[in-house]
Structure 1
Amino acid sequence: MTRIVAGLAGGRRLEVPRAGTRPTSERVREALFGRLEHYGVVDGARVLDLFAGSGALGLEAASRGAGEVVLVDSARTATQVCEKNVRALGIRGVRTVTAKAATYVAGPAGAPVDLVLIDPPYDLDEEGVRAVLEPLTRREDPWLEASSVVVLERSTRSPEPSWPAGMRRFADKTYGETRVWFAELDEPDQESS
């Protein structure tokens, strides 16, 4: 079991799938969301949580005021746990999708999101990470806009990802065995053109 750290559902426990998931620790979530709130990207945000597992990251965002959260995981058992956690917390504006992360982001965005949370299994190779990052930078039916933030969580033993053209890392932080990279679109200022 893990719990929501802060916000409307702060202190409430989350169920975790029995196998195949590694929820982000409460300590890391607390530090991560403190930084994201400092960046001003949580309150009212549209959030995409890829490799959701228990939904801990996306539900933390919802608890802290995100307006809309989509929890995506390829394992039906994980999305069932996410759905159970959403019901138990009574948080509105959260939906779950059973799909591979790379397949989901290759599909239609509909509208840009403010925050993308990517916490893949630590054994996902660099090609797998790139398959998720690459579609986020597309210009047609975009997932991101200039103010969007992408968060990638990996093991400290994992190399920094090869960021796709159009995306750049602007910060990173290490918490014990966890490394978190913060990225954004790398585009010239639209107003100066």
Structure 2
Amino acid sequence: MTRIIAGYAGSLSLAVPRSGTRPTSDRVREAIFSALEARDAVHGASVLDLYAGSGALGLEAASRGAAEVVLVEKARPAADVCRRNAAALAKAARGRPAPRIRVEARSVGAYLESAAAGVDLAFIDPPYDLGERELARDLELLAPLLGPDAVVVVERSSRSPEPSWPEGITPERRRDYGETTLWWASATASGEDDPDSGEPDGD
């Protein structure tokens, strides 16, 4: 069973697609959100949950105070599950101001190509068999959408290589949880990769 761990919808059970998804375990989600809340990266955030599956990561962020969450899931049955889970989360608000939650039933690449900038937190939890080249392309499309101090969390198999990080995303650390590996990264600070940053123009 998958459930919301904490926040206003804590202990709410979530539906899970019958096949084709690999829900993030409660243990790994707890580790993710403990780290995120330690850096105050959830409250008021604009969140992307890419390859959303049941939407558990994005909806956990919503329960904990994110302002806006977009769940991107190409498979129609899984996207329908995301919608049901989002509706259950909204009902659990019981009169509190509820976060805006939107489900995009299309491919991650198609969504990112037309998405608006200003993302504060992005989860990327693709199928373990997603090719490294495809993941690199997703990260390349994501990079220009990230706001200052944005956080990126990539979940992969512990046997997968480190993702290829594009310009605009700086890797921070790796954490292993059995067969699961989390890669943490952040938006590159403006000027960080520019050796001439801060130099005056002209002679």
Gaps of 5+ in 2: 199-203
Q: Which amino acid aligns with 2:188?
A: D
TM-score, with structure 1 as normaliser: 0.92
Task: Say whether residues 1:118 and 2:142 are aligned partners.
Answer: no
TM-score, with structure 2 as normaliser: 0.88
How far off its partner does 1:101 sit? Answer: 0.6
1:161-185 Cα shifts (integer Å, max 9, x gaps): 1111222101221111111111112
- Kindly report which structure 2 residues correspond to 1:169-188, keeping only aligned pairs within 5 A, or say none: 169-187=171-189, 188=191
**Cα contact 2:120–2:148 (8 A) shared by 1:** no
1:92-115 Cα shifts (integer Å, max 9, x gaps): 311101011112111131x31100
* 1:134 match: 140
How far off its partner does 1:137 sit? Answer: 2.1
Between 1:15-24 and 1:92-101, the stretch displaced more is 92-101
SS in 2 for 1:80: helix
CA distance in 1, matches of 2:10, 2:157: 26
The structure number with the bigger radius of gyration is: 2
Q: Which amino acid aligns with 1:134?
A: E
RMSD: 1.5
Between 1:24-33 and 1:82-91, the stretch displaced more is 82-91
How far off its partner does 1:89 sit? Answer: 2.1
1:3-54 Cα shifts (integer Å, max 9, x gaps): 1111111111000000100110000000100001111110110001000000
CA distance in 1, matches of 2:106, 2:59: 18
* 1:163 match: 165
How far off its partner does 1:66 sit? Answer: 0.5
Between 1:120-129 and 1:87-96, the stretch displaced more is 87-96
CA distance in 2, matches of 1:41, 1:73: 23
* 1:105 match: 112
**Cα contact 2:49–2:55 (8 A) shared by 1:** yes
Q: Which amino acid aligns with 1:129?
A: L
